[in-house]
Amino acid sequence: MLEFLLWMKALVYLLTSIGDSVSLQEHIDVILEGLPKDYSSVILVIKSKLDPLSIKEVETLLLTHKMCLKKFLKKLFSDFATINLIETSPRSTIAQNQLNSTSVQVHITQNFEVENQG
């Protein structure tokens, strides 16, 4: 998000430096149009303000929203991993025990055959 916001600032600066001024509202609109669907709630908040926000305020709202999304997704994935671990552990343990049992049987059989041949 920060990279995107810096890129937008750089573009506005470049346009201004060649004499093509960009209004505050145009700057905000371009930022909002470039955001993914995950930001629809914060876009609605920004667009519904009666008094226009500064670029700094828009950036702060977007970065805060990004942090909230990250926190939410981290918790969601953590919860999913915990649920997945709980659901698969018994099967995994049984499969591992069967595998260990098979390995031991094969190992014993191979040793027995080697001893009988020699």
Is the pTM here over 0.75, yes or no? no
- The dihedral over CA atoms of 31, 33, 36, 38, expressed in degrees to the nearest 10, equals 80
Angle at 31 between CA 27 and CA 34, to 5 degrees: 140
Closest CA to 1 of 80, 96, 65: 65
At residue 103, the pLDDT reads 42
- Kindly give the interhelix angle for 24-33 and 40-48, rounded to the nearest 10 degrees: 160
pLDDT tens per residue, range 5-61: 999 999 999 999 999 999 999 999 999 999 999 999 999 999 998 898 999 999 999
Q: Residue 87: pLDDT above 90? A: no
